[in-house]
Structure 1
Amino acid sequence: MQDDSRRSASYTVPCEGYVDVVEFSPFDNGTAGSLLAYGGNQLVVVGSVRFQEEDLEVEGVEFTTLQIFSHTLRVDALAWSPESHLDKLPQLIRFCTAAADFKLRVLSSDLQNKHEVKVFGGHTSFINHLVYEPTEGQQIASVSDDHTCRVWDLQGNETTSFRLRSPGISVCWHPEEVFKLMVAEKRGTIRFYDLVTRQAILSLDCGQSPLMSADWCLTNTIKVGAVVGSDWLIWDITRSSYPQEKRPAHVGRARLFKWSRANENLFSTTGCPGKISSQLLVHHLGHPQPVMIGSAMVGAGLSWHRTLPLCVIGGDRKLFFWMTEM
């Protein structure tokens, strides 16, 4: 592994408390910057962030806090709604969180004086991941340790439920074919469901466990990636149910896998938070070794910018941003 791939964060932003979750909005929200939310103990901070790579008037990074939302419990997962926008009035910020009481919360604000929280109950154990339907934002899918994937409408009604064979770890929605949902299970199985027929239409096998995180490459949907044990795995779903590539990623257990939204060959993985060996690694499918190793001790959360080859992780009172020069 080359020494020149080991890098300090390109940018850091100070923030409130320890960051458990951080998410760029994956949608075009009609703003000069990107919407970013981070959550910790009893709060979610939403802001707009701009980088010098997209605006020459910015020196490094510029983060503007738009709203601080009170949150009853620690935030375990967060997903942006495609309805969020800042380019017309009234403005709208909307996202969904999961917390330790096994409930979902949909938080909405016009950034003036109208704020709304809707609480959805139904899961009977911890919720590990959630996602909005990406075109209209009228449905939310969530996966839980209770061995279910559930789909909800915005009134909190459970419209569909899939019984899983182990805890649900990750869930992803196809960017255009909104009846297709990907669900990853801890035992090492990834299934694709048809929401119309409510049947599984395809499954992938890791050949090992525990699966800790999986992601669907939304710029090229034949690609799926995951971290299982200490390895990363990549599938071409048109070729085989077994991974085409598999490599060791981290000393000890890997924690998160996320595809870049700007480059279909770029992805990142993290180790488990709080360990010196748990770096952020950025990988490129054309390179045998990581193209970048983040030198900071990793906190929690991992998200990619919508258009830049830049990812963010959370830490203790800081957000860390890494720009990949590809």
Structure 2
Amino acid sequence: MFATYSEKTSSSEPNYVINFEEAGLISVIHFSPYELSQDLLLIALPTKILVTQLIIQENISLKELAQMHNGVTCMALAISSETTINTFPHNVVFCSAGDDYKIRLFKSDLGLHSSTKILSGHSDYINDISYDPESNYLASVSDDNTVKIWDVVNYTCETLFLTSPGTAVCWHREDSSKLMVAEKIGLIRFYNVNTQKPILSLEFGKPLSAAHWSPSDSQVICSLHLGELVVWDLSHPSLPTNSKLLHTVDGGYLKINGTGELVAFVNRLEGFVKVALINSQQQRLCASLDLPTSLSWHFRLPLLCVANDNKLCFWKISNK
């Protein structure tokens, strides 16, 4: 059990902190985006991935359920909708992208049985991976200018060629035939995976480091261009709804929360985590961090988790 402590002295300080100092740098964290496994949190450490469960009592703590050893640095994580930890038998299914350009599929019952499958195909760093809502397919985007769509049953894949390195990939939550792919050049395309044809594109004219499709509103996209937050409404896709400069340096990573009201972003070079309301872009949090590497929202709770070097920092964020 990993217990939290808090040294909250101001509104910008985290409500809870968990120290992984002996384990090393935390490269990626990922809360499950599904109701049946909503308290599951994956934590990628230098050579292993911790499968943990969030325990909420007076404070919060993390219960370690399993360790998956992968031997490489993790670049991205994704959890399958098949995962459940609240019923028996347990079933945990997730994948990781390593710095060896390979994807590892992990499956465990959190007991005696576990397995790992390695998928090879990319020739450069994999920047993002995502399961479709029905967990029939896994999409991955890479610096090799491709997005690959893997069949998770027979492990075959289809390759779509991009015009620049892929930075983010995300599925429509209700329609598993629709896939969003963001490119570093500043282009966001939406594909019909059945026909493998683009059906819509968005372009802001500046290099793009991150993008996310709102989990609760399929019309809303947020993207980050040279430190500028851009909000898109797909019902009026010709121009962004609004934009605001958030960082003074390039790069960064963002995620929209489960209710679609808040967007959080970190920039490792600038050393800040910031949270804003999507509609008004009013800032709800600005906190200085030593080395922010990743962030993730809880599925239901207004709880943001940020990996800061070898610590996990948790904030309760109000949307009012």
TM range (shorter): over 0.9
**Structure 1: tracts of 5 or more residues without a match:** 52-57
Q: Distance in 2 between matches of 1:318 and 1:219?
A: 29
Q: Map 1:303-322; keep pairs closer than 5 Å.
A: 303-322=296-315
- What is residue 68 of structure 1 aligned with on the other side? 67
Q: CA distance change for structure 1 residues 6 and 74 in 2, over 3 Å: closer, same or farther?
A: same
* 1:123 and 2:122 aligned: yes
- Scaled by the length of structure 1, what TM-score is found? 0.90
Shift of 1:288: 4.8
Q: Deviations over 1:18-49 (max 9, x none)?
A: 1000000001225xx70000102111001000
Q: Secondary structure at the match of 2:218?
A: coil
Percent identity of equivalent pairs: 31
1:126–1:145 CA contact under 8 A, matched in 2: yes
Shift of 1:305: 0.6
- What is residue 54 of structure 1 aligned with on the other side? none
Shift of 1:138: 2.3
Q: Deviations over 1:169-223 (max 9, x none)?
A: 00000111110000000000000000111100000002211x0000001201111
Shift of 1:156: 5.9
2:291–2:309 CA contact under 8 A, matched in 1: no
- What is residue 28 of structure 1 aligned with on the other side? 35
Q: Map 1:49-60; keep pairs closer than 5 Å.
A: 49-51=54-56, 58-60=57-59
Q: Distance in 2 between matches of 1:250 and 1:34?
A: 31
Counterpart amino acid of 2:189? R
1:9–1:296 CA contact under 8 A, matched in 2: no
Counterpart amino acid of 1:67? A
Q: Distance in 1 between matches of 2:94 and 2:10?
A: 35
Counterpart amino acid of 2:142? S
Q: Distance in 2 between matches of 1:8 and 1:180?
A: 39
Shift of 1:297: 2.8
Partner of residue 252 from structure 1, selected from 249, 254, 257: 249
* 1:183 and 2:190 aligned: no
Q: Distance in 2 between matches of 1:278 and 1:156?
A: 42
2:289–2:308 CA contact under 8 A, matched in 1: no
Q: Distance in 2 between matches of 1:50 and 1:294?
A: 25
Counterpart amino acid of 1:246? S
How many matched pairs?
Answer: 309
Partner of residue 239 from structure 2, selected from 237, 242, 250: 242
Greater relative contact order (Cα 8 A, min sep 6): structure 1 or 2? 1
Q: Map 1:133-282; keep pairs closer than 5 Å.
A: 133-135=132-134, 137-155=135-153, 157-209=155-207, 211-262=208-259, 264-271=260-267, 273=268, 275=269, 277-282=270-275
Q: Distance in 1 between matches of 2:11 and 2:244?
A: 19
2:284–2:318 CA contact under 8 A, matched in 1: no
2:266–2:292 CA contact under 8 A, matched in 1: no
Q: Deviations over 1:145-189 (max 9, x none)?
A: 111110112256333221100001000001111100000000000
Q: Distance in 2 between matches of 1:74 and 1:217?
A: 28
CA RMSD in angstroms, aligned pairs only: 1.7
Q: Deviations over 1:275-311 (max 9, x none)?
A: 4x32110001344541111233342111111011221
